[in-house]
Amino acid sequence: MSDAYKKAGVDLNTGYEVLKEVKQLSGNSQLGAFGGLFPLAAEAVGNEPVLVAGTDGVGTKLLVAIAANQHTTIGIDLVAMCVNDILAQGAKPQFFLDYLGLGHTDTARVKAILKGVVAGCQQAGTVLVGGETAEMPDMYGQDHYDLAGFAVGIANKADLLSPDNVRAGDVLIGLPSNGLHSNGFSLVRDILFKQHDFALDYVFPELGHDLQTELLRPTKIYVESVLPLLQQKCVASIAHITGGGLVENVARALPTGLSAQFTVGRWPVPPIMSLLGQLGELSPADLRSTFNLGLGLVLIVHPDQLATVTATLDQQHQAYYQVGQVTDHGKPVVFQEAVHA
């Protein structure tokens, strides 16, 4: 390689070594070509196949991983943010590509990051067909990096999920999250590390483990649990609860004029979110419009499909909660207390 390029801060040989590692981890010997290849079976979907693409990142959760020097699960977050969005459209994720930009190629750290990407792809049943690792010493600090991902799924056009499928009387089924997932971390970091001065190894009794462990819980990937429901065509619409929390994301899964009425207390809220509310003096509205509050996906189901949905989720050993219903009046998303007899 060029000695001049190395003196400028870019070590191509290290990048080549990383590529070898990723090939071994993923089992895809074609990685490293100018483009990723993915064979598409003719019988994969019906008569009108539609490709569904999604791209996302991990946000400032990366800063927590960097501060903790723990990089093994952040790649799972990256895959999850992309494939869960595709799933919410009613499509089956097919393949994934990643982009890693960094200031310095530390082989062990890059390997840990990409090991998480490969693990996420395995959980999602997708293939890692390519990616890019770009060493840019003047763009990023020595220990800093950024991650982005791109996923593509496929569906039959008639089977795509849409808010137009939803009607009054439908049931809201919540699938539990794995904590904060990958959203709201600018606020999380502000509350914990700026407004207060907690260390990553601080243990809150309510959590039972240190903050580092809690904050770096990987985003749950729902593909394995939800695909059987899509195949049975028993879900009307799905909301993936990301930035904007329950309020904004559930509203995106509804048609104009209908309201998702959540019954507070029907599902457990993770302790970290209650702690953040107390420490940051956040209102219930703040929490609901920022965090997932314990629900990573919300399924909207016609009442006559409810038994099929719950039976299938039970077969998949997927926990779920019946958290509310759709009505034809009120704001798009409403939270009400349970009525006790």
What are phi and psi for residue 171, nearest 5 degrees? -105, 140
Alpha-carbon distances of 332 from 257, 263, 298, rounded to whole Å: 8, 14, 14
| Secondary structure of 100-146 as H, E, C letters | EEECCCCHHHHHHHHHHHHHHHHHHCCEEEEEEEEECCCCCCCCCEE
- pLDDT above 80 for 13: no
List pLDDT tens digits, range 93-131.
Answer: 999 999 999 998 899 999 999 999 999 999 999 999 999
Both 68 and 90 in one domain: the answer is yes
Both 9 and 115 in one domain: the answer is yes
DSSP notation for 195-219:
IS---TT-B-TTTSSBHHHHHTPPP
CATH assignment of the domain containing 255:
3.90.650.10
State the average pLDDT over residues 296-319.
Answer: 98
Both 221 and 112 in one domain: the answer is no
List pLDDT tens digits, range 200-228.
Answer: 999 999 999 999 999 999 999 999 999 99
Q: Determine if the pTM surpasses 0.75.
A: yes
* pLDDT (0 to 100) of residue 34: 62
The overall average pLDDT reported for the chain is 91
- Of 109, 127, 159, the one marking the end of a domain is 159
Q: Torsion angle, CA of 307/310/316/320, rounded to 10 degrees?
A: 180
- Of 124, 159, 194, the one marking the end of a domain is 159
Could you tell me the residue range of the domain that residue 222 belongs to?
Answer: 163-337
Residues 209 and 151: their CA atoms lie apart, in Å, by 33
List pLDDT tens digits, range 150-196.
Answer: 999 999 999 999 999 999 999 999 999 999 999 999 999 999 999 99
Which of 302, 332, 292 is closest to 173 using CA atoms?
302
Alpha-carbon distances of 242 from 78, 144, 245, 248, rounded to whole Å: 12, 24, 6, 9
Q: Which residues, in sequence order, are bridge partners of residue 171?
A: 301, 325
